[in-house]
Amino acid sequence: MTRAVDRVYGHIRDAIVDGTYAPGSRLGEVEIAELTSTSRTPVREALRQLEMEGLVEVLPHRGARVCTWTAADLEEIYELRMSLEALAAARAARRIGPDELDRLDALCSRMEAATLPEADLDLLAQLNDDFHAVVRSAAASPRLVSMLASVISLPLVMRTFHRYAPADLTRSHAHHRDLVAALRARDDVWADAVMRAHVRAAENVLLQAHAADQAAADHADARSDTAV
């Protein structure tokens, strides 16, 4: 049963992250059970796990659907993420080792290489996740990592890097290099400040994209009403 639940969980989560299941999409138990060659029981369990992570909403008598977020939701989540990521960076500055610093340097170089001549956004997203995972691990706080897990999924779902303009990517790379410099200097205040700026910049990109998406949806609704 556990292996079946894990397989279904992975299927649903990957489909949410890559946009196959868009925000607001219905997640039918029967359809998912058929796609994953399982029964509805592991599907229900997987949906409960995803609900706890904030990716899925299960409504009484209406089934499950992918969560949607308002601008206020995004602001709240990024405020939490900024505080937690900054704390992780500050803790890491006092604990990180030379091997981890070298790993961060290598990831910075790979992210910069993945941007030119044309950005490989999927690779950048994965490398960025790896970079932040090293920082979180160096913070040496399982409780903090667990708390961050609940707010890290959102940027993956929204595919933040796919909303970045070239200038946004350049700024993100500069933040990463600055953070490595702060960690090498063992300066927790500097690391905290860089991480706050980094997350705040990502929030700004996402909020602008969300506003543009909402405006496009409102425009489409207005055209539909006019046509009727």
The CATH code belonging to domain 71-215 is 1.20.120.530
187-204 burial, b for 16+ CB within 10 Å, e for fewer?
bbebbbbbbebbbebbbe
DSSP lists the bridge partners of residue 59 as: 63
- Tens of pLDDT, residues 99-127: 999 999 999 999 999 998 888 988 998 99
Tell me, which fold does domain 2-66 have in CATH? Arc Repressor Mutant, subunit A (1.10.10)
Average pLDDT over residues 205-219: 85
The pLDDT of residue 118 is: 87
Structure tokens at 28: 């039918």
CA distances from 121 to 65, 81, 91, 213 (A): 27, 22, 29, 19
Specify the pTM.
0.82
Using 50, 70 and 90 to split pLDDT, how confident is the model at 62?
confident
Higher-confidence residue of 109 and 69: namely 109
pLDDT at residue 41 greater than cutoff 90: yes
The pLDDT of residue 198 is: 98
CA distances from 212 to 66, 146, 170 (A): 20, 32, 22
pLDDT at residue 228 greater than cutoff 60: no
The pLDDT of residue 1 is: 59
Average pLDDT over residues 56-83: 91
216-226 burial, b for 16+ CB within 10 Å, e for fewer?
eeeeeeeeeee
Domain coordinates in residue numbering, the chain: 2-66, 71-215
> Is 71-215 in the same CATH topology as 2-66?
no
Report d(CA 199, CA 192) in Å as an integer. 11
Q: Using H for helix, E for strand and C for coil, what is the string for the chain?
A: CHHHHHHHHHHHHHHHHCCCCCCCCEECHHHHHHHCCCCHHHHHHHHHHHHHCCCEEEECCCEEEECCCCHHHHHHHHHHHHHHHHHHHHHHHCCCCHHHHHHHHHHHHHHHHCCCCCCCHHHHHHHHHHHHHHHHHHCCCHHHHHHHHHHHHHHHHCCHHHHCCHHHHHHHHHHHHHHHHHHHCCCHHHHHHHHHHHHHHHHHHHHHHHHHHHHHHHHHHHHHHHHC
